[in-house]
Amino acid sequence: MLQTLFYIPPQFFGVPIFGIGWLFGILLVGTAVALLVPCLRQKTSVASTLAAAAVIAALLVFVFPNLAEHGNGTPIRGYGLCLLTAVLVSLALVVRLAKKRNIPTESVYSLCIWAVVSGIVGARIFYVTEYWQDIICFDNADHLLLPDTLFNIANIAGGGLVVFGSILGGIIGSAVFIRRNKLPFFASFDAMAPALMLGISIGRIGCFLNGCCFGGVCDLPWAVTFPADSPAHIHQIVHGDVFCGGLKFKETDGALTISEVQHGSGAAQAGLKSGMAIRSIAAVAGEYSGRLTVWQVRSVSELTALLRYLYRFYPKENVRFDICMNPEQTETQPYYVPVMPPQVLPVHPTQLYSSAAALAVCGILLVLGSLPLYRRRDGLVFATFLILYAAVRFVLEIIRTDEDSFLGTGLTVSQNICLAAGAVGIIFFIFILRRKSKFPKNSLDIIRE
């Protein structure tokens, strides 16, 4: 896990890097060259080039300057860098495949812009919809914190893109562009399918660096132990796999209670026992006891997030647990618990499994796309992509533990989508096979590159 790769300094020779600075100047020069030279040869779309330049300029001027961390500069996240690499590499592949299908290169660039933007929007919408309880922020009085909520919705740099959302959003955006520009519909999607899998393969490396999309606890030789405060660690605390400060917690009858106390821990020595209900937690006790901040805790997620914060910034202090002493929760007794080092268990590196699987599917699609049957019938590559990716993802979801059962089905949200996507892929595959072939069976065009 390596969320931040390095920092870009705010200035170089006294001129800002981001904003109206070095990169903005380079963008202007690059855009001028990209417009002038190809335009003289009449091989580019001015509108597409200007649209891409406008998007990049908006990022440089309005987004990146606000990402700077005080004293460090602008962080370059591993997740974001992998996403950018995935987009560029996938673009190169889709251009190559599109040429073989006689799709104009300038149209492919514009199509990819539509696909990337709509894919990111779809991925974020899917994530926000699925994990809305982690996005929406309230204060202690249950009042909506709108600025914090909007920041969480837009904070793509912190992770939170769902692959199925990106696929659906990308398909919708691409379909709109293809129809409006009268490109060959099925052939365009056939060119995009292998490139999409290549992009997913690189993107999953970003998931590994970010620590998301982790697998279940295991003791295999290649198991990975993520650091404390990682998503895998948080999941283990919330689900009672590890102790947090010598304690495990559960939610019962609207109250947060202690489910287990680690033998010999500071919590056990302080007198905390299983079944005690927690009313509130004081920030720190000891050196800073004169200015304690008290939080009401309502869920295991809130409690563990607070404890991790306290353990991270006040490692030598005590945490005060206010334990309810009567059923009405009106009387409390304080218990002071010393900070303990976090416990983290090794897990399956499912991000790397997913990356390898996506790369394998990409290779299979490229091989199948060169076969006579697939070259005679546009749409078969895309249909095969739906089937293969749905099957692979369904199996990987068995190993992953970051999603719970969806609506009592016993399957995760992604597994339910896999079943639907696989069914659509099979139906689409049969439909394409029954359509009239675009070439005679023995056409020379079939075997000629």
Q: Which of 338, 373, 407 is the last residue of a domain?
A: 338
Tell me the whole-structure pTM to 2 decimals: 0.79
pLDDT at 393: 93
Whether 437 contacts 420, CB under 8 Å:
no
427-to-262, 393, 415, 424, 433 alpha-carbon distances in Å: 54, 19, 18, 5, 10
Do 320 and 359 share a structural domain? no
Specify if 394 maps to a domain: yes
pLDDT at 45: 61
Specify if 33 maps to a domain: no
Specify if 383 maps to a domain: yes
Measured over the CA atoms of residue 179, residue 184, residue 186 and residue 190, the dihedral's sign is negative
Do 92 and 213 share a structural domain? yes
Q: Tens of pLDDT along 328-354?
A: 667 788 888 876 677 889 999 999 999
DSSP letter at 311?
H
Do 356 and 316 share a structural domain? no
Do 108 and 200 share a structural domain? yes
Specify if 8 maps to a domain: no
22-to-18, 19, 52, 65 alpha-carbon distances in Å: 7, 8, 18, 13
Q: For residue 280, what is the domain's CATH number?
A: 2.30.42.10
Specify if 253 maps to a domain: yes
Task: Give kind and range of the element (H or E) at residue 322.
Answer: strand 318-324
Q: Which of 338, 362, 387 is the last residue of a domain?
A: 338
**Tokens describing residue 314:** 């006040």
Cα angle 308, 344, 213; round to 5: 90
436-to-27, 103, 352, 428, 440 alpha-carbon distances in Å: 47, 21, 41, 14, 10
Do 368 and 303 share a structural domain? no
Do 205 and 98 share a structural domain? yes
Specify if 333 maps to a domain: yes
Do 437 and 376 share a structural domain? yes
Structural domain count of the chain: 2
Do 211 and 122 share a structural domain? yes
pLDDT at 446: 40
Residues 6 or more apart in contact with residue 147 via CB below 8 angstroms: none
pLDDT at 445: 45
Helix (H, G, I), strand (E, B) or coil at 216: coil
Do 308 and 372 share a structural domain? no
Specify if 48 maps to a domain: no
Do 281 and 206 share a structural domain? no
Q: What is the CA radius of gyration of the chain?
A: 26
| Backbone φ, ψ for residue 102 (5° rounding) | 60, 35
Do 155 and 263 share a structural domain? no
Per-residue pLDDT of the chain (449 residues; tens, 9 = 90+): 777 788 888 888 888 887 788 888 888 888 887 767 655 555 556 666 777 778 788 777 776 776 777 777 888 888 888 888 998 899 999 999 998 888 888 888 888 888 888 888 888 888 888 777 767 777 666 677 777 777 777 766 555 778 878 888 888 999 999 988 888 989 999 999 999 999 999 999 999 998 888 999 999 999 999 987 788 888 888 788 888 778 888 877 667 888 898 888 888 888 888 888 887 777 665 544 455 677 777 777 777 777 767 767 776 677 788 888 777 667 788 888 876 677 889 999 999 999 999 999 999 999 999 999 888 899 999 999 999 999 999 999 999 887 777 777 778 888 999 999 999 999 999 999 887 665 555 443 443 33
Q: Which of 284, 310, 338 is the last residue of a domain?
A: 338
The total number of residues shown for the chain amounts to 449
Task: Please state at what angle helix 78-100 crosses helix 105-130, rounded to 10 degrees.
Answer: 140
Specify if 227 maps to a domain: no
Domain enclosing residue 365, as ranges: 87-217+350-447
Rounded CA separation 256/261 (Å): 14
Residues 6 or more apart in contact with residue 252 via CB below 8 angstroms: none
pLDDT at 38: 57
pLDDT at 97: 93
Rounded CA separation 201/213 (Å): 13
**Tokens describing residue 26:** 């380079």
Do 384 and 321 share a structural domain? no
